[in-house]
């Protein structure tokens, strides 16, 4: 469990290269976001640790198409197939209030009625609501991010506070 302030990652994984598109090095990518349009103004990104200037990016839902400086042939694009795409947190648009990157939620202590009950180990994304998976030793539980269940997310102190009246009605013990 977190005993001190959680250090947020500066590089975030934002997607994955699926395959080349066309002969001029354009890439079809999978976008890891519920709002892919937030990446439409991205100027640079990294693939396999190498930084590339973005010439053009067009997100289309869960996929998108990107043209990168220096990747101008299908052969060069093919070398990037299945590689993860990262971006610096500072280069990404600010998220709306109450929205967080999943990577920042992993490791948060879950607090119910003033007691730490475990640590977020995964966030599953479903259409209706995200589901948080929490571990406490050998035990695990999950709960949906619905209604007024989440009272506070405190990234600086590494905790998420849940409503102690709603939590027992929605928790699933695995």
Same domain, 15 and 81: yes
CATH number for 139:
2.30.30.240
Please report where in the chains the tokens 């999950």 appear, as a residue: 142
Same domain, 41 and 78: yes
Same domain, 83 and 22: yes
- Can you give the residue range of the structural domain that contains 77? 11-91
**Residues contacting 129, CB < 8 A, separation 6+:** 144, 145, 146
Mean pLDDT within 149-169: 95
Same domain, 125 and 166: yes
Does residue 84 lie within any of the structural domains?
A: yes
Does residue 4 lie within any of the structural domains?
A: no
The pLDDT of residue 35 is above 90: no
Does residue 107 lie within any of the structural domains?
A: yes
Mean pLDDT within 28-41: 83
Does residue 164 lie within any of the structural domains?
A: yes
Rounded CA-CA distance 32/150 in Å is 23
Domain boundary among 59, 91, 123: 91
Q: Residue 20, Cβ neighbours under 10 Å: how many? A: 21
Rounded CA-CA distance 117/111 in Å is 6
pTM of the model: 0.73
Domain boundary among 63, 91, 119: 91
DSSP 139: E
Same domain, 132 and 66: no
Q: What is the pLDDT of residues 133-144, one digit of tens each?
A: 999 988 999 999
Mean pLDDT within 50-55: 96
**Structural domain count of the chain:** 2
Does residue 96 lie within any of the structural domains?
A: no
Buried-state track 44-76, b at ≥16 Cβ within 10 A, e below 16: ebbbeeeebebeebebeeeebbbbbeebeeeee
Does residue 2 lie within any of the structural domains?
A: no
Segment (H or E) for 20: strand 11-21
Mean pLDDT within 16-27: 96
Does residue 5 lie within any of the structural domains?
A: no
Domain boundary among 37, 69, 91: 91
Q: What is the mean pLDDT of the chain?
A: 90
DSSP 90: G
Helix, strand, coil share of the chain (percent; to 5): 10, 45, 40
- In this structure, are residues 100 and 85 in contact, taking their beta carbons and an 8 Å threshold? no
Q: Name the nearest CA neighbour of 123 among 32, 38, 45, 60.
A: 32
Residue-level pLDDT at 2: 41
């Amino acid at each position: 469990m977190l005993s001190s302030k959680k250090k947020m990652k500066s590089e975030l994984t934002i997607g994955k290269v699926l395959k080349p598109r066309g002969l001029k090095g354009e890439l079809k990518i999978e976008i890891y976001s519920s709002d892919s349009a937030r990446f439409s103004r991205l100027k640079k990104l990294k693939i396999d640790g190498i930084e590339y200037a973005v010439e053009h990016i067009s997100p289309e839902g869960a996929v998108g198409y990107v043209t990168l400086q220096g990747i101008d042939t299908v052969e060069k694009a093919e070398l990037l197939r299945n590689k993860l795409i990262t971006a610096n947190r500072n280069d990404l648009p600010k998220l709306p209030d109450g929205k967080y990157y999943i990577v920042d939620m992993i490791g948060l202590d879950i607090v119910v009625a003033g007691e730490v009950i475990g640590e977020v180990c995964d966030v599953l994304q479903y259409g209706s609501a995200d589901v948080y998976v929490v571990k406490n030793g050998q035990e695990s539980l999950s709960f949906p991010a619905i209604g007024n269940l989440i009272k506070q997310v405190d990234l600086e102190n590494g905790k998420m506070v849940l409503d102690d009246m709603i939590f027992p009605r929605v928790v699933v013990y695995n």
